[in-house]
Amino acid sequence: MSAPAVAWHGSLGVVCPRCRGDLAARADAFDCGRCRVHYPVVLGIADFRLEADPWIGLEDDREKARRLEQRSRGASLEAMVRTYWSMTPGTPAEQASRFVHHVMNAGARSREWVERLDPPNGRPSGAWLDVGTGTGDLACAVAEHGVRAVGIDVAMRWLVVARRRAEIEGAHVDFICCNAEHLPFADRTFARVVSVGTLEHCRDAEQALAEAKRVLVPRGDVKLRTVNRFTMLAEPHVGVWGVGFVPRRLADRYVRWRGGQGYAHHRPLSSRELRRGMRRAGFTAVHVEPASLLAPERARLGTAQWAGRAYERVRRLPLMSAMLRASAPLLEAHGVAA
Ligand SMILES: [Zn+2]
């Protein structure tokens, strides 16, 4: 018999994301006997996706991950991300370079965010789950604090980049490919769920929140940061103003009309929707507030640093905070699993 695909999966209690039953681990796959489903391990990363991400099919994504890995052997993180965009036709050069910049700044931003999270005083200790890990910056920042970190993402092609970041930084992080709406973990696996910039891309944000709640231990908590549907600024992914005020079914057409590249795969929530979704998922002590600015966001303000300082002051005033919550560019949410 061959060795199990990835030995640690067993110790975390991975289960079939469809029926939540036990899986049989083989050298190159996990099998669910009950569902008769076979979850492949690609480039050493287990693929538990039930649905493809909206941009690319499952097999095309795996193939892109393989090509990227092959073309970036021994490359730096930046070179690897540049290679990624060179393999992605249809992205204007200027936009690709902004994406590269974003990935390279993400480490500092995530470290600052993790530093600011309240210490786990009195909270359960244990592994943290990063939902929508992307290029792994947040999961690596968590691991730096000596916490066991697991990063999941729907894109295998980004997980090979995330793993490269972890290797370069010497961070021990486990990466798994899966849907936020269908986590391959047993109930009560994690002490904390963190997520930055992911909820707005979920097919079903409420289902993703319900899954986050399910995998948390009692008194474990979720901390997340997401785009506000009703942001007072241009929508950050497409650079178009006022998208949130257009009915959702028309948003894609509106963004294309305003010169953007479409909006079918973005569904940011308003602060009210986010709070309601967290409560429906079963979280208690739910707080939704205007997000604090992090270093790269402050840097983007350029000469308008005063605006950033004013925002931070207003954010701390209870009454103003309530007003700002409606229109702040980014929201932070917190909830406790009962
Ligand atoms: Zn199953």
- Which residues neighbour ligand 1 (ion) by CB within 5 Å? 16, 18-19, 21, 32, 34-35
Q: Mean pLDDT for each 10-residue chunk of the chain (338 residues)?
A: 43 88 92 96 96 89 97 96 91 86 93 85 87 97 95 97 96 96 96 94 93 96 88 71 74 73 77 94 93 78 78 77 76 92
How far away, in angstroms, is 271 Cα from ligand 1 center? 35
How far away, in angstroms, is 24 Cα from ligand 1 center? 11
The structural domains of the chain, ordered by start, are: 106-231+268-337 (3.40.50.150)
| Three state DSSP letters for the chain | CCCCCCCHHHHHCECCCCCCCCCEECCCEEEECCCCEEEEEECCEEECCCCCCCCCCHHHHHHHHHHHHHHCCCCCHHHHHHHHHHCCCCCCHHHHHHHHHHHHHHHHHHHHHHHHCCCCCCCCCCCEEEECCCCCHHHHHHHCCCCCEEEEECCHHHHHHHHHHHHHHCCCEEEEECECCECCECCCCEEEEEEECCHHHCCCHHHHHHHHHHHEEEEEEEEEEEEECCCCCCCCCCCCCCHHHCCHHHHHHHHHHCCCCCCCCCCCECHHHHHHHHHHCCEEEEEEEECCCCHHHHHHCCCCHHHHHHHHHHHCCHHHHHHHHHHCCEEEEEEEEC
pLDDT reported for residue 11 = 62
How far away, in angstroms, is 42 Cα from ligand 1 center? 19
How far away, in angstroms, is 74 Cα from ligand 1 center? 37
How far away, in angstroms, is 38 Cα from ligand 1 center? 9
How far away, in angstroms, is 19 Cα from ligand 1 center? 4
Q: Cβ contacts of residue 62 below 8 Å, gap of 6+? A: 40, 42, 47, 156
How far away, in angstroms, is 279 Cα from ligand 1 center? 28
pLDDT reported for residue 1 = 34
How far away, in angstroms, is 17 Cα from ligand 1 center? 7
pLDDT reported for residue 6 = 47
